[in-house]
Structure 1
Amino acid sequence: MYNLNNELKEKISNLNDALEYKYNHYLDLNKNDFRAFIRQYIGSIIPMEKLDKDILSIYEGKGGIVGVDGSNNRVGGAYPHYIEIYQALAKSTVYTDNPIFNSDVYCPLYPENGENPLEDEKIIEDKRNTLLATLEVKAAIEAVSKHKPYAILMDGGLIRYNIYAYDMWMELKTRCEEEGIILIGVIKDIKTSIIGDVMQEQNPDIKDIFYDRELLFGVLDYGEMILIDDEVNRKKKEGYSSVFLRSSLAPSVIGMDIIDTQKEYIEEMARLVFTLTPENSRGVPLWLDIVDKEVKISDDMMRALLERYLDRGVYERFFVSERDKRT
């Protein structure tokens, strides 16, 4: 049994009360009224049907589906005494024995390209995001060349590639457009506030920020999606169309982006995501879950790599923190 002090228990209880008040105070609409609000201001609520096996067989005949995901892990102590490993994987449903891996290593103790070893945390975080996004897009480009898939499912929203891997992302986007490969992003943890922003526009008394993740919890029925209107979709100006969908029996929703030039396929791709997602799962397509597990860099893997390929003296001098030495 954990030994929690009374102050900590009280603060957590107060947080619970504050969150309940925030949502109960402003969001007292019943489910039907809230769904009506969504239809009026956000987009159409559309029921989906799962694709039958014949359609999936056609996809396989046209190159199958490629899932792309990335992972990173870190060993060491505080900045700059750590090393990070980054890895991306593109895996085809047809060519399962030919996964495409790309990897990289980052260590602040070995700055490259004139980097300042005393950079602030924002610069370091941008560098991490750039490393991972670049590896993922590079893997997807290789998959286009080697596998010629029907569709590519990127793990996460597509707009982050605009930010962190723009030139390479434009290459991937252009190749997919030219070769007729559908390119989508599947967003497991949505962070947008589309509905909350519209609520504030309609009711100036609402001052708090409400995110789509919590607003849509339990609102959609299993197999429903919201086709977001262009007028309220902030990603539209960057060239993307989006949907929210409830792809499993879990009450939460996920998101999906598609490049605007392929918007005609948005409902088809939402149905594909729905079809590939087990109903008793957390809402993620099974193929992306498989890619996620295979690309993951575990703590044991990190230690094994460093202990084998770094001299023991280098490893202990630079990357074994005082916390790691505790018994």
Structure 2
Amino acid sequence: MFDLSPELQNKLRELNSLLKNRRENLKNRVAIREMLKKRGAKFISLKNYASNENLLITGIDGSVNYYGVYPYRIFFFQAYAATPKGDKIIVSDVKAPFLEDKPDDDPKDRVLPALELEASLKAIDRFKPDVMLFDGGFIRYRRHAPERWEQVEKALLEKDVLGIGIIEEAQSQAIAKILTDRIGIYDREILFGLLNPGEALFFDETLKEGFFTVFARLSRHPQAIAVDFLESQKERAKMALELLYALTPEGSRGIPFFLDVIDSKTKLSKETVEILLASCFDREILELYLRPLREERLL
């Protein structure tokens, strides 16, 4: 049992009160919906049916972990493309920035998106899917792997594959800027409880340059997700959301179950990394460069 500081607990209670007050200002659900409608937003009910059950779906996800302590850190990357039938493609990489005399470099943002896009290109060619679900939005691909993203976007359009980027945590401020000039308000807190289960929020205006973004509540969980589409595929957005609705368990957190399955398969856990290192590294090298001394603590 660890010791708790009364001062720390008091500060946390104060923070809780501040957040409760902040939340109270955003709880007028009816008023917020009316304000959004006046700005051209559309609340659309989705049908929960599997009319698209013959569509071949492919999911894309990636995972990163690292081992060691500064400056001797090794980063492990894995991207995964899979279909519900069990077909899969795995693309992996390892980076050791200290060997390039760049110990402060954090390669996560640039390496993982590129690997996920590499996996998606291979999946488009090999699986020939109708729909491709990406675990995350499209902006990070365009920002961190622009050349590879152009290749994927071209392949999606040429092969008539519907690309869908599913954003579990809506970190944007697109809705917030429509509603208020207050600084520090994010879409996540506005969306919480705003939509009914099986309801989507469409905007006529572009929220992200080059992409068409909608918000949807796909389960009983009060938090909505954001969904990215290519601008040229936005006419198929409602159909795509109804497919996602059919793929999402009612009692889940609002993400298609298929993506959770892929996430569990691609995840590089600490235990997995340690097994890899133990099987591939000499013990002396592992102890010298990578194994933290804190792991030798007795308490």
TM bracket, shorter-chain basis: over 0.9
Alpha-carbon distance in structure 2 between the residues aligned to 1:248 and 1:22: 25
Q: CA deviation at 1:312?
A: 0.6
Is 1:117 the counterpart of 2:88? The answer is no
- CA deviations on 1:5-37 (whole Å, 9 max, x unpaired) are 11100110111111122332x436x22121111
Is 1:258 the counterpart of 2:229 in the alignment? yes
Partner of 1:326: 297
Q: Which moved more, 1:270-279 or 1:133-142?
A: 270-279
Q: Tell me the SS of whatever aligns to 2:52.
A: helix
Aligned with residue 227 of structure 1, among 189, 193, 202: 202
* Residue 102 (structure 1) aligns with: 91
Correspondent of 1:43 among 41, 44, 49: 41
Q: Deviation digits for residues 146-195 of structure 1, max 9, x if unmatched?
A: 01000100000011100111111100110110111111100111101112
Report the Cα distance in structure 1 between the residues aligned to 2:278 and 2:39, rounded to whole angstroms.
Answer: 56
Corresponding residue SS for 1:109: helix
Letter paired with 2:187: D
Query: Is the CA contact 2:135–2:259 (under 8 Å) kept in the aligned structure 1?
Result: yes
- Compute the TM-score of the two structures, normalised by the length of structure 2: 0.95
Q: TM-score, normalised by structure 1?
A: 0.87
Which amino acid in the other structure matches residue 32 of structure 2? F
- Offset from partner CA, 1:87-129 (integer Å, 9 cap, x none): 00000124x1x31000011112221xxxx4254xxxx34x311
Letter of the 1:182 counterpart:
L
Please say if 1:76 is aligned against 2:68. yes
| CA distance, structure 2, for counterparts of residue 174 and residue 117 of structure 1 | 34
Distance 1:262 1:27 in 2: 33
Residue number in structure 1 paired with 2:31: 33
Q: In the alignment, which residue of structure 2 is the partner of 1:272?
A: 243
1:300 to 271, 286, 294: 271
Q: What's 1:173 paired with?
A: 153
Q: How far did 1:271 drift?
A: 1.0
Partner of 1:88: 79
Whether 1:215 and 2:190 are equivalent positions in the alignment is yes
Q: Distance in 1 between matches of 2:2 and 2:293?
A: 25
Instruction: Report deviation, 1:41.
Output: 2.1
Q: Please report how far the alpha carbon of residue 76 of structure 1 lies from its aligned counterpart in structure 2 after TM superposition.
A: 1.2
Distance apart, 1:290 and its partner CA: 0.6
Q: Does 1:286 align with 2:257?
A: yes
**CA–CA distance in structure 2, aligned partners of residues 35 and 321 of structure 1:** 52
CA distance in 2, matches of 1:118, 1:158: 29
Alignment partner for residue 56 of structure 1, among 53, 56, 65? 53
Alignment gaps of 5+ in structure 1: 202-206
Distance 1:155 1:195, change over 3 A: same
CA distance in 2, matches of 1:90, 1:40: 41
CA deviation string 1:286-310 (max 9, x = no partner): 1111110000011111101001101
CA distance in 1, matches of 2:167, 2:180: 24
What RMSD over aligned residues (CA atoms) do the two structures have, in Å?
A: 1.5
Give aligned pairs, total. 298
| Counterpart check, 1:14 vs 2:5 | no
User: What one-letter code is carried by the residue in structure 2 that aligns with 1:310?
Assistant: F
1:145 counterpart (125, 144, 149): 125
